[in-house]
A and B are shown apart, each in its own frame.
Chain A
Amino acid sequence: MRRNASTWAAEAAAVFVKEWRCEFRTRYSLNTLALFAFTTLVVVSFSLGPLGVSKSQGTSLLPVLLWIILLFSVAAGLPRAFVQEEETQTATALRLAATPSALFCGKLLYGLSLVFALEALVTPIYVAMTSLDVASPGLLVAVLAAGGYGLAVGSTLVAAIIAQARTKGTLFSVLAFPVLLPLLVLAVELTRNAASGAAPDVALPQLLLYDAVVTIAGLMLFPLVWNP
């Protein structure tokens, strides 16, 4: 049965709205992400504050720590996207009612909004607390946008894969590592470039290509992972 784009988009939007409505009533992911981000942010900032690292070291070290904070905060909250549907048995009703690709995109939009909110909260505080000099703020915003999208789509795909497994936590770490490693390497390199003012070279197109590949892979794999 063919569905036109508007009904497909309406389905994805319904999933997105449902996710946020449930989230505002439980605040599970919001609290998890915020608490994890706050804790790591404070630890890193106090350990490697302006007096703990030289400017040259800071340019190479601080971007790594920023992405580690973002990665672990996301890993603490986003895998719940599909796991909760399985644990509360709402997955059966979703399987019977939703178009898989629309469901994936709705969940991805929700994850993306969480990651962007996290980045918008964490990055300014981190930059201020560690006195990280950003020579190219425009590039930093572009890297956070493309890197955040990559984190969201990669985590959503892995979350869908692990949802029906018994050892979900372990499996997320095992599967997320190879999926997210290229993203993190590129994002750290580009964040260093943004801090030092160097040109992004091929790393930015590579990051955008990564985002596109993982999105297409997610849309193709998700129906197979989600349904028998």
Chain B
Amino acid sequence: MVRGLWSAQRYNQDPWPGVGNPPTLQGGEIQQYFGYSPRVPTTLHFESVRRRFGRLAVLKGVSGTVEPGGMLLVTGANGSGKSTLLRCLSGLLAPDSGKIEYQENGAGLDIAERRQRVGVVSPDLAFYAELTVAENLDFFSRLRRVSSAAGFAVLDRLALPADRLAGALSSGMRQRLRWAWALLHSPRLLLLDEPFQNFDAAGERVARELLAEHLAGGGLAVVANPSTLDFDHAAQRLDLGG
């Protein structure tokens, strides 16, 4: 049952919502009729993204594209802008220039929609220390207007006790909670900043399985890590240097 939640059928959504049988249109006609190309239902494309903090230019024109089932691995030294890029992609930070386009089922999302649709795992993420793991997930599932079942299923797989206070979690346990939180609303796009940090071997194995299932189901992922990670899935690479 648990694995079923993360199976490919989760992403087998109707690419023609509310339309019924697709009309028999060809190529450019489809794009003209519906405003998007059905061949790229969910994509992330960013181009010439620049971001400065005062005089310090952190991102100097970064570009990339991620398509369904695809993963972009962003590497670079500390301070090279990996986390800044992910914050820009998630909508938490506005780039100074450049464009970020994210489409789900062919419909472009603005920055506010993108912020609420993506799944984020980041060292910056913290949860309410006074609440238990279950209460935290329940609260955020209410905000996201989804059942908390998906989050609890991930908790089970990651062997994270739901009744423990978030403030009493070890760093590895907190990372497990971040994964459960990120997958709570079954996002199509995962933005993972150092996704395996603080994990023990078992935790990392499960997290890698979750990522592989996400990609196998047609999801997208951008992974930022200081060094190259070995993945079963072939990943595009973007080196921000140092």
Contacts and interface: CB of A to CB of B under 8 A. Distances in A.
Interface stretch (B3-11, B31-39, B86-94, B156-164): B86-94
Interface residues of A, number: 27
Contact of A11 (B93, B115, B118, B142): B142
B139 interface: yes
A228 B96 CA distance: 11
Interface stretch (B41-49, B58-66, B119-127, B197-205): B119-127
A88 B145 contact: no
Contact of B130 (A11, A14, A21): A21
B113 A1 contact: yes
Interface in B132-177: 135, 139-140, 142-145
A207 to B, nearest CB: 33
Contact of A89 (B118, B124, B145): B124
A26 interface: yes
Contacts of A18: 128, 131, 139
A92 B135 contact: no
A7 interface: yes
Interface in A14-35: 14-15, 18, 21-22, 25-26
Given A10-B142, A18-B139, A97 B116 contact: yes
Given A7-B145, A22-B131, A228-B94, A14 B139 contact: yes
Contacts, number: 70
A140 B115 CA distance: 45
Nearest to B120: A96
B115 A21 contact: no
Given A11-B142, A26-B130, A227 B90 contact: no
A135 interface: no
A93 B131 contact: no
Given A10-B142, A10-B145, A18-B128, A92 B115 contact: no
Contact of B143 (A11, A89, A223): A11
A42 interface: no
B92 A228 contact: yes
A95 interface: yes
Contacts of B127: 90, 93
Contact of B126 (A10, A88, A102): A88
A18 B129 CA distance: 12
B112 interface: yes
Contact of A96 (B90, B130, B135): B90
Nearest to B140: A97
Contact of B125 (A93, A98, A228): A93
Nearest to B166: A90
B102 interface: no
B139 A96 contact: no
B179 interface: no
A7 B93 CA distance: 26
A10 B145 CA distance: 8
B196 interface: no
B223 to A, nearest CB: 18
8 contacts: A14-B142, A21-B135, A22-B130, A93-B127, A93-B181, A99-B143, A227-B112, A228-B92
The 4 closest A-B pairs by CB, nearest first: A89-B126, A14-B142, A25-B130, A97-B143
Interface of A: 1, 3, 7, 10-11, 14-15, 18, 21-22, 25-26, 88-90, 92-99, 102, 223, 227-228
